[in-house]
Chain A
Amino acid sequence: RKEVEQDPGPFNVPEGATVAFNCTYSNSASQSFFWYRQDCRKEPKLLMSVYSSGNEDGRFTAQLNRASQYISLLIRDSKLSDSATYLCVVNNAGNMLTFGGGTRLMVKP
């Protein structure tokens, strides 16, 4: 079993739609959680951290469920520019990050 698992997609949604991605992690001692965004043939960039109480940044909402060991990302009012691959990332110890395989989102006009 992979340490961090994501549905690879692609998720094809129309502009304005709401879309949600889930990610599961296997290490119950994981300490920190993040979503990174990666555009095609580009480097990953931090989208947002995920806090235990849940957090929101504009159209993006991240949730953490420690009991079930999953993380979610909700995108409201999807834009064409949201088309990218979203990487779920878990920090198990120190600065050792474990990446999921990514979920590809395609927003259509």
Chain B
Amino acid sequence: NAGVTQTPKFQVLKTGQSMTLQCAQDMNHEYMSWYRQDPGMGLRLIHYSVGAGITDQGEVPNGYNVSRSTTEDFPLRLLSAAPSQTSVYFCASSHGQGSSYNEQFFGPGTRLTVL
């Protein structure tokens, strides 16, 4: 049981390049989400999904796209990288939704630098 995995661990992009951050989980969790973490800002929600085929925007969605074709995978695409997207990106997953909380499990993160 690998939990939540993310690739790559590190990435350097030039302004304007595009790329996809990969996220996969093997816990059969319905809910998956992407966060970015910047110094002093805490984690901010980019996009989330409550199940295969269903995605929605979080707090800071601009410049990012997501899709959820399977329960296991939730890739994050940067359409045209900008220096403001330099950050650490975490993927997370949990069971279910609604008012009852389910523990969120985080992947190890992807450290992205945009030059």
Residues in B whose Cβ lies below 8 Å from that of A4: 42
- Complex CA–CA separation, A91 to B101 (angstroms): 8
Is there a chain A Cβ closer than 8 Å to B84's Cβ? Answer: no
Instruction: Report the contact-size class of chain B (Cβ under 8 Å from the partner).
Output: 20 to 34
Contact A97 B45 (CB under 8 A): yes
Apart from A44-B106, A94-B98, A95-B33, what are 13 other A-B pairs with CB-CB below 8 Å? A8-B40, A31-B99, A32-B99, A34-B101, A41-B109, A43-B107, A43-B108, A49-B101, A87-B43, A95-B94, A95-B104, A96-B48, A99-B43
Q: List 7 A-B contacts (CB under 8 A).
A: A42-B109, A43-B109, A49-B101, A94-B97, A95-B104, A96-B48, A97-B104
B interface residues, Cβ below 8 angstroms from A: 31, 33, 35, 40-45, 48, 50, 58, 90, 94, 96-99, 101-104, 106-109
A interface residues, Cβ below 8 angstroms from B: 4, 8, 31-32, 34, 41-46, 49, 87, 91, 93-97, 99-102
Given contacts A32-B101, A49-B101, contact A96 B45 (CB under 8 A): yes
